[in-house]
Structure 1
Amino acid sequence: MTPAARLAAAIDLLAALEAQCFAASAAPRRRPADAVATEFFRARRYIGGGDRREIGERVWGVVRQRLRLDWWLARVGARPSPRLLAAAGLLLLEGLALPEVLRAFPGGQYAAEPLNPPEERLLRALAAAHAEAGGSGLLHPAMPETVRLNLPDWVLPGLRARFGDRLEEEAAAMEQPAPLDLRANLLKTTREAAAAALAAEGFETLPTRWSPWGLRLPARRPVTATTAFTEGLIEVQDEGSQLIALLADARPGLRVADLCAGAGGKTLALAASMRNKGRITACDVSAVRLEGAVRRLRRAGVDNAERHLFAAGDRWAKRRAGQFDRVLVDAPCTGTGTWRRNPDARLRTGSADLRELVAKQHEILDSAGELVRPGGKLVYATCSLLPEEDEEQVNAFLGRRPDFALLPLAEAWRAAGGEGAPPAEGDHLLTSPARHGTDGFFAAVLQRKA
C-alpha cells in the first residue's frame, strides 16, 4: 500500500471505532476496539501484515492520546472527526510539518480526499496554536489535570487515593505500550525449555520477576504463529494475571471453581499447577467466551476442566454450596489496570459503568462465598486499580461474612510457592505498570473458617 492508502485505511478504522466504541449512539453496547479492528482487517484481507502494523500503530497512537488530541482540537473550535484526528495525529504525534500533513491527503484512488477548506483552516489554526505553545509534544500549560495526566475525570479520585504522590508517574506508565508476557505451560514443558523453543524460532525472552512460569518479550510480536504456541507450550498472559492464578494455590487433587473464567486464561494456569489432577469448573455468563476456552484447553492438554454457563434462574451454585477447596473470582471490573494494553477502555468506560460493576462484584462475591468449603480459600481479584473495586469490596464482604478472614499475603504467597517478597500493598497483592512493569492487578486471599 502507498502511504496515502495506509492513511485512508487508518481514517476508515478510526471511523469504525468512533461508531462502535466511543460515540454516544454506541452505548450501551460499546465494543472493545481490538474486536472492531480484527473485524475491520478481516474484511480487508488484501491489506498485508506490514501495512496492517503501520495502520494499527497510527490508529492506536491516536486512541492512546485521544483525550489530549480532543483538547487541542477543541482549542481551535474543531470537533474530533476521524479525518481531523488523523491529521492532528500526523501533526502532533508524528511531528510532520503542516505542508507534509496537507500532502498526505492527495485524493485519487485509494487515498484520502484532500482536506476541504474548513478542515484545512482548522488544521492551520491547530498548527499555529501548537507552534505558539512551543511546538513540542502534546502538553500545554492550560490543560486541566485530567487531560494533562491522560485520565478521564471519573477515575481521578480513586487513582489519587491509590497512588498519592506517585499518581503522575503511574499515569505516564499507563499510557505506554505494554510488553508481551507469556506463561510456560507446565503440563507440557518447563519455563527454560519454552524459552529455548521460542529462541529457536527467533523470539528471545527473559524470565519474569515474580511469576515462576513467566517469560517476557520487550514488545508485541506474533507469537501465536510459532510452533511453541500452536503446540501448547506457551500462553499469552500478563505476569500480574499469572500471579492471581499462583495465589489460588490450586494443588493436585483439589476441587476448584473459576467463577469468571472468560476465555480460560487463569483456568489454564490453574490446571497446570494442579498437574491435571483434581477438578476445575470454569464458569462464565458468555457461551462465546467459554467456547474459546475449550479450544485453548484442548491445545494446552488440559483434561481436568469442565464448563458451566450461568443462566437466569440457575441453581448450579446452590447445589454445590460448600464443595470447593478453591474459588477464584476474577471479577468483571473497569479494567483501569490494563489501560496501557487497552487504551480504548479509558474512552468507553465511565462513572455509570463503575457503579454498575461495583454492584455486580458485590453480588458475585456473595455467591462465591457460598461455594467455599470450611477451611477453603476464596481469591478475589480484579484488573482495576480503583479502591472501590478492590479492598473496599473485600472489606465489605468480610463485614457481611464473619466466617471468612483475610489471609496475610506473605503467608498466602509462601503457601502457593511464591519466592521472595510479593508485590503488595499491605495484605493485598497489588501490581501496577510503573512500580512493577505489569498490568495493574489486585488480589486478596480469604479463608473460610473451619
Structure 2
Amino acid sequence: MSKYNVRDIALDILLSIEKNQAFSNLLLNKNIEKYKLTGKDAGLLTEIVYGTIQRKMTLDYYLQPFLKNPKKMQEWVRVLLRLSVYQMVYLDRVPEHAVIYEAVEIAKKRGHKGIVSMVNGVLRNLQREGLASFDSITDPVEKLAIEASHPLWLVKRWTAQYGIEKARHICETNLMPPKQTLRVNTSRFTIDEAIARLAEEGIEVKKGSVAPEALEVQKGNAAHTKAFKEGMFTVQDESSMLVAYAVGATEGDRVLDSCAAPGGKTTHIAEKLYHTGSVVSLDIHDHKVKLITEQVERLQLSNVTAVAMDSRKVSERFEKESFDRILVDAPCSGFGVMRRKPDLKYTKTEQDIMQLARIQLQILQAVEPLLKQGGTLVYSTCTIDQEENKDVVDEFLKQHPDFEWDDTLVKRLPKSVSTKVENGQLQLFPDDFQTDGFYIACLRKKVQ
C-alpha cells in the first residue's frame, strides 16, 4: 500500500466525517481493515485523520491568507488542503515537497487543471511565506479558540467556569494523542501475571498512575492479543476505572448499572464482587446490550444480567428499594473524551448540553426509588461541563431531601486522586493525570 493511497483514504474518511457526521474512530478502523493497512501505513492514516480533525480551525486560519474564493471552493479541495497543511506543519518525518507532490497528484485524479494549479499554488505560497501569526487576534479567548482549535462558544464556557488558564490547559491537552490503558481482571489474574503475559505477546506496559489495577500500554495494541480474548483485561481509561471504587460494592450486594453499555463499569463492579452478589446492567439499545453480554462472557463473570430497557422506566420492572447501590453513568456531551473523539467538539452545541442535563436528571429521578435506605447512588459522566455535572446533582438534591452528599467517597477512591475530591464529588480534567476528563458524584439515601 503506497503512501499516496493512504492520503487518498484519509481524504475520503475526512469527507465522510464532514458530510455525514460519521464517527472518526469507527470509520478509521473500518478503512484500516478494508485496505489491510498495517504498521507505518495504518499509523500515518490515523495520524493524518485525527490530526486534521483535531486542528481543523488552526489549519483553516493558516490557509485563509492564501485562498481567493474560499466560499466557492469544493469541500474535497478544502479538506485536501487541510490534511496537506497538517502534514507540512505537524509531521516532521514527511518532507514538505513530498506532501505537495501527493496533494497535486490527488487533485489531478479528482479535479480539473484549474484545481490542480490552485492546490499547488496555495501550498507552495504557504511554504514560501510561512504561517500566519496568532498575535493579530486581540481577544484572548478567541485567540485560544483558534490556536487550540476549539469552538469559541466552548472556550467561552470553560473560561467562565474554570478561568482562562485552566481552559488553556484543557484545550492543549485535548490535542495530545490519548493513551491506551488496561484494567486487569483481578477476579481471575494478578497484575504481575498480566504484565508477564502481555510481554510474551510483545506488548510493553507499565503500571498506571491513577488506578491500582491499571496498566498503561507503551508499545503494541493490547486489544489484538490472546490475553484480551481470554479475559485477562479490559481496555478502559483510568478515570472511568474510579467509578467502581466510588460505587464501593461489597460481597453479596445487588447493584444496578442503569446506563451500562458497552459494559466497562459493569464488569469492573462485577469483578470487585468476586463472583458474589449481582449486577443488573441496562441499556436502551438491544445491540448495545449484546456488547455488554460479550464483555461479561469474555471476562467469565457469572454475576451480571444485561437487560434492554430505557432506564427512565425502571419502576415498571424492579421493586422499590431492591438495590444496595445504583450507578447512573449518564449519557453526556463527552467533552472529557475529545482526545479519543476529536469530531465531538464541532458537532455538539449548547442546546445539546441543556437537553442532556434534562435527561440526566430524569434518569436520576427514575432510579432513586429503587435504592435501599442507607444505599449509595453514584452519578458519573465523561464530560467536564458543570451544567451536566454539579448542576444536575444540585438540582436532584434540591428535589430529594432524603439524599445527601456521601463524604466517605474520598476513603474509597485511590490515594492518587484524594486531593481532587470535594465533599462527595470528584472532577478530573484531561490535564490532571493525562486521562479522560471525568466527573463522579456520590450520594447516600438517608435512613428514615
Instruction: Give your verdict on TM over 0.5.
Output: yes
Equivalents in 1 of 2:378, 2:312: separation in Å? 25
Q: Does 2:77 match 1:87?
A: no
Report 1:267-416 matches (<5 A): 267-311=266-310, 314=313, 316-317=315-316, 319-408=318-407, 411-414=408-411, 416=412
Aligned residues of 1:8 and 1:111 also touching (Cα < 8 A): no
Measured against aligned partners, the alpha-carbon deviations of 1:178-208 in whole angstroms (never above 9, x if no partner) come to 1111100012102222122212222222222
Matches of 1:209 and 1:99 in 2, distance apart? 42
| Superposition deviation, residue 211 in structure 1 | 1.0
| Superposed CA RMSD | 2.6
Q: Is contact 1:162-1:385 (8 Å) kept?
A: no
- The answer to whether 1:424 aligns with 2:428 is no
Aligned-pair CA distance for 1:252: 1.3
Amino acid at match of 2:48: R
Q: Say yes or no: does 1:141 pair with 2:140.
A: no
**Cα deviation digits, residues 43-90 of structure 1 (max 9, x gap):** x24444542332122111111111212333344343553322223323
**Greater CA deviation, 197-206 or 92-101?**
92-101
SS in structure 2 opposite 1:446? strand
Who is 1:38 aligned against? 29
What's the secondary structure of 1:256's corresponding residue?
strand
Are the equivalent residues in 2 in contact too, given 1:88–1:123 (CA < 8 A)?
no
Aligned equivalent of 1:63, options 53, 56, 62: 53
Provide, for residues 187-239 of structure 1, a one-character-per-residue CA deviation record: whole Å limited to 9, x for no partner: 210222212221222222222223121111246x3212212211111110000
Change (3 A) 1:97 1:275: closer
* Alignment partners' CA distance in 2, 1:313 and 1:218: 41
> For the structure 1 residues 393 and 218, does the alpha-carbon distance in structure 2 shift closer, same or farther, using more than 3 Å as the test?
farther
2:263, 2:292 within 8 Å by CA — same for their partners in 1?
yes
Residue 382 of structure 1: how far off its partner (Å): 0.6
Residue 27 of structure 1 corresponds to which residue in structure 2? none
1:336 and 1:131 map into 2 onto residues whose CA distance is 37
**Closer/same/farther in 2, CA of residues 101 and 292 from structure 1, 3 Å limit:** same
Query: Aligned letter for 1:140?
Result: F
- The whole-number CA distance in structure 2 between the counterparts of 1:130 and 1:370 is 64
Distance of 1:326 and 1:313 partners within structure 2: 17
After superposition, give the CA deviation of every residue in 1:237-257 in whole Å (9 maximum; x if it has no partner): 000000112111011100101
User: Which amino acid is the alignment partner of residue 444 of structure 1?
Assistant: A
For this pair of structures, how many residues does the alignment match? 432
Gaps of 5+ in 1: 22-30
In the alignment, what sits opposite 1:54? 44
| SS class of match (2:387) | helix
Give distance in 2, aligned partners of 1:63 and 1:257.
37
Contact between 2:284 and 2:311, CA under 8 Å: does it hold in 1? no
In 2, distance between residues paired with 1:309 and 1:139?
Answer: 53
Q: Is the 8 A contact 2:376 2:442 kept in 1?
A: yes
SS at match of 1:276: coil
Distance (whole Å) between structure 2 residues aligned to residue 351 and residue 437 of structure 1:
26
| CA distance in 2 between partners of 1:355 and 1:413 (Å) | 29
Contact 2:312 2:362 in 1 (8 A): no
Which one of the candidate residues 435, 440, 447 is aligned to 2:437? 440
SS in 2 for 1:321: coil
Write the distance in 2 (CA, Å) between the matches of 1:123 and 1:392.
51
CA shift at 1:107, angstroms? 4.1
Structure 1 residues 206 and 387: CA distance shift in structure 2, 3 A: same
Change in Cα spacing, 1:258 to 1:99, as seen in structure 2 (3 Å) is same
Q: After the TM superposition, which of the residue ranges 198-207 and 436-445 deviates more from structure 2?
A: 198-207
Which residue number in structure 2 is paired with residue 224 of structure 1?
223
In the alignment, residue 436 of structure 1 is paired with which amino acid? F
- Residue 114 (structure 1) shift: 7.2
User: Any idea what SS the aligned residue of 1:447 has?
Assistant: strand
- Three-state SS of the structure 1 residue aligned to 2:418 is coil
Structure 2: state its 5+ residue gaps: none
Question: How much identity, in percent, do the aligned residues show?
Answer: 25
Normalised by the size of structure 2, how large is the TM-score? 0.88
1: distance between equivalents of 2:36 and 2:149? Answer: 35
CA positional deviation for 1:126: 5.7
